[in-house]
């Protein structure tokens, strides 16, 4: 502003009476305050990436910002209400979202505790979002792998179906580390499963031990649908996120998470029932420590769902779903006590990565044994294939 203009404004202000001067000053102060506030981030606790929604992808932002510190919010809470924050001097590397949003609980530090706000406000939305873009890292056409590893290929009424989720980094095992974190959704048909019985969890894995990562596993069942006022068409999915916290990429291959689904008890009452349970991935995001996207090759899967045959339905003796295994944990031999009407054809032992570690072809009823003395200690899945169906059970090898 030129000196002459300032002189004119001063002269104009001097001519005003006291009330008009007061009114004008109030207007100027209000405008200055509004302008200053508009520069301050308006934080919704849990929407760490400021995309307008609190969900599993926000965990990735917390992983990227983990360890950063900045100004605390005044009177912070994790209630889903807009909260004014002081801008931090640092932001997410690709999307440029200010770290004040990533400090979900407003205590001035980004760490594991900020994931609580994500879990508390899961699926809440707001309209103060910011559109962002991210580069995709060039890995010469190589992609990360994401696929299912069901512990059995066939299930029947009342069975618990455990499906591990397997992932591999794009360059495993020869190229440099590329993966920092990933989030994805697993969708499944709910017509043949028990509502509110599904569970999901994240494993210690090649991405990092659960004690050293930030992570979440959220089930959308009828309880959440009711809480959010959604229709039942929304149910039948599990959201996952796992992120490192040390700012270093990693590389590897193996199971990273699992989902357990319990089949309905009365499938055997449905005439001519025979079905496939389809599990599929959606909303997949895999990122580097620079927040760049990594391309992913994902594979959907199916598991046979069969009603129990006449004579097998309702068998609930001490052998449970067809057999009893002992001792558990076992050190040298796994003894398997089959139900009298089951003729085993094959016994197989799989590790948590879904790899076959021991097998034995059999053709007998009653008791059989499987040598495990050279099997490393850990959690395994025993699978028995018979003419009547496939049975599986989690077992421990320990010494
Ligand atoms: Ca978000
Ligand atoms: Ca915090």
51-97, pLDDT tens digit by residue? 999 999 999 999 999 999 999 999 999 999 999 999 999 999 999 99
Can you give the pLDDT at residue 187?
A: 95
Alpha carbon of 341 to ligand 1 centroid (Å): 54
Can you give the pLDDT at residue 249?
A: 98
Which ligand is in closest contact with the Cα of 76?
2
Can you give the pLDDT at residue 274?
A: 65
Kindly state whether residues 382 and 280 are assigned to the same domain.
Answer: no
**Residues less than 5 Å from ion ligand 2, measured at CB:** 103, 105, 107, 109, 114
Kindly state whether residues 289 and 174 are assigned to the same domain.
Answer: yes
Residue 339 to residue 308: CA distance in whole angstroms = 15
Which ligand is in closest contact with the Cα of 106?
2
Can you give the pLDDT at residue 305?
A: 82
Residue where a domain stops, chosen among 277, 306, 335: 306
Strand order from edge to edge, sheet including 333-338: 323-326, 333-338, 367-371
Alpha carbon of 87 to ligand 1 centroid (Å): 18
Pair 213, 245: CB distance under 8 Å: yes
Residue 318 falls inside a structural domain: no
Kindly state whether residues 274 and 386 are assigned to the same domain.
Answer: no
Alpha carbon of 154 to ligand 1 centroid (Å): 37
Residue 44 to residue 66: CA distance in whole angstroms = 18
Alpha carbon of 97 to ligand 1 centroid (Å): 11
Kindly state whether residues 163 and 283 are assigned to the same domain.
Answer: yes
Which ligand is in closest contact with the Cα of 109?
2
Residue where a domain stops, chosen among 77, 104, 133: 133
**Below-70 pLDDT ranges, the chain:** 1-39, 268, 270-274, 308-322, 340-341, 364
Can you give the pLDDT at residue 350?
A: 83
Can you give the pLDDT at residue 36?
A: 46
Kindly state whether residues 158 and 293 are assigned to the same domain.
Answer: yes
Kindly state whether residues 332 and 236 are assigned to the same domain.
Answer: no
Alpha carbon of 48 to ligand 1 centroid (Å): 6
First CA to last CA across the chain, in angstroms? 83
Alpha carbon of 120 to ligand 2 centroid (Å): 14
Q: Which domain holds residue 148?
A: 144-306
Kindly state whether residues 289 and 172 are assigned to the same domain.
Answer: yes
Alpha carbon of 203 to ligand 1 centroid (Å): 23
């Amino acid at each position: 502003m030129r000196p002459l203009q300032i002189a004119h404004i001063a002269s104009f202000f001097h001519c005003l009476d006291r009330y008009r001067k007061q009114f004008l000053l109030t207007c100027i102060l209000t405008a200055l305050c509004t302008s200053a506030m508009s520069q301050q981030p308006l934080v919704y606790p849990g929407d760490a990436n400021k995309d307008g929604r609190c969900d599993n992808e926000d965990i990735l932002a917390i992983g990227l910002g983990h360890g950063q510190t900045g100004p605390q919010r005044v009177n912070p809470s994790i209630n889903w209400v807009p909260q004014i924050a002081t801008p931090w001097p640092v932001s997410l590397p690709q999307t440029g979202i200010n770290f004040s949003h990533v400090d979900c609980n407003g205590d001035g530090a980004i760490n594991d505790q900020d994931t609580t706000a994500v879990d508390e406000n899961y699926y809440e939305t707001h309209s103060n979002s910011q559109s962002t873009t991210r580069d995709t890292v060039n890995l010469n056409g190589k992609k990360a792998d994401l696929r299912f590893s069901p512990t059995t290929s066939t299930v029947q009424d009342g069975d618990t179906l455990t499906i591990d989720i397997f992932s591999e980094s794009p360059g495993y095992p020869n190229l440099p580390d590329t993966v920092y974190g990933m989030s994805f959704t697993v969708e499944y048909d709910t017509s043949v499963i028990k509502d509110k019985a599904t569970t999901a969890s994240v494993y210690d894995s090649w991405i990092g031990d659960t004690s050293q990562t930030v992570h979440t596993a959220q089930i959308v069942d009828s309880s959440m649908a009711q809480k959010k006022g959604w229709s039942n068409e929304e149910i039948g999915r599990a959201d996952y996120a796992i992120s490192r916290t040390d700012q270093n990429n990693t590389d590897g291959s193996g199971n990273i998470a699992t989902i357990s689904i319990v089949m309905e008890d009365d499938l055997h009452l449905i005439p001519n029932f025979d079905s496939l349970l389809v599990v599929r991935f959606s909303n997949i995001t895999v990122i580097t420590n620079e927040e760049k996207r990594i391309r992913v090759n994902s594979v959907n899967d199916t598991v046979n769902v069969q009603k129990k045959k006449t004579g097998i339905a309702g068998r609930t003796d001490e052998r449970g779903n067809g057999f009893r295994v002992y001792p558990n944990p076992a050190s040298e031999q796994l003894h398997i006590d089959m139900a009298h009407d089951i003729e085993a054809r094959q016994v197989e032992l799989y590790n948590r990565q879904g790899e076959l570690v021991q097998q034995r072809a059999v053709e007998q009823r009653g008791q059989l044994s499987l040598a495990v003395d050279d099997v490393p200690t850990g959690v395994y899945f025993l699978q028995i294939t018979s003419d009547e169906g496939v049975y599986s059970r989690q077992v421990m090898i320990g010494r």
